[in-house]
Amino acid sequence: MTIPILLYHQIAVPPPRPMPFRSMFVRPKSFARQMACLKMLGYQGLSLREAMPYIKGEKQGKVVVITFDDGFRNVFETAAPILRQYGFTATNFIVSNQIGGSNVWDQSLGIVETPCMDIAQLKEWLRMGHEIGSHTLDHAHLNRVPDDEAERQINESRAALEHLLDTRIESFAYPFGEESALHRRLVRDAGYRWAVTVERGNAWKGDDLYGLPRKTIRRSDTLLHFLRRVLA
């Protein structure tokens, strides 16, 4: 049995052309239709933590893992009510040095500035039954920084989130999808229990838990395309 892990970034109206990376925006109406379709087909949307027994083969069921990278405020404001409507949970991977800040890691590329969730919103996200994971301190390019800096980004982000939110941080997502065998080991040694990549495919029993694949959902995905990704 394989489990699809979906990756979203922003749930908002896309900025106008020629803004780069418009594909990372999914319209609220599209996201709502996608969640409604999953529910209609009998799927349960789960956070990564809640889905692990299914990924490991310890439980059976029709589940889809829902994840968001970067911790954008529009996910809290727009996606969270939709998830609540269908009884779904999700994991949000947070850039810990930008809590209450914005996507500074993107702005040199000309991407529109977008606010990130603040402490109160993160705590409310947890109260609603969702999960928080780490996305490093600064959305770091792990393949471009020295190994000791990669280790600091991985370790200190977990410590900061656990201190600020008083919760155990078990999940990690590699920024930009950049990772190696060394980074997987650093994540494991830092105390995380699993990590996700941007490698395409479904997760299944026997996968390296520190290199789980995900399927990115984009602005241009029609509902049929979305369903093909889930069912493939």
The CATH number of residue 81's host domain is: 3.20.20.370
The percentage of the chain sitting over the pLDDT mark of 90, rounded to a whole number, equals: 88
Q: Is residue 215 pLDDT above 80, yes or no? A: yes
> What is the arithmetic mean of pLDDT over 36-45?
97
Domain that holds residue 209: 2-231
State the chain's mean pLDDT as an integer. 95
Q: Is 139 left (phi over 0), alpha (psi -120 to 50) or beta?
A: left
> What is the arithmetic mean of pLDDT over 73-96?
98
| Rg of the Cα atoms in the chain | 16
Q: Is residue 20 pLDDT above 70, yes or no? A: no
Split into its structural domains, the chain has a count of 1
> What is the arithmetic mean of pLDDT over 119-135?
98
Is-cis flag, bond preceding 18, omega within 30? yes
- Strand 2-3 to 203-204 pairing: antiparallel
Model confidence pLDDT, tens digit, residues 30-40 = 999 999 999 99
Nearest to 48 by CA among 95, 2, 5: 5
Q: Is residue 23 pLDDT above 90, yes or no? A: no
Q: What are phi and psi of 183, to 5 degrees?
A: -65, -35
CA dihedral sign, ordered 14, 20, 23, 26: negative
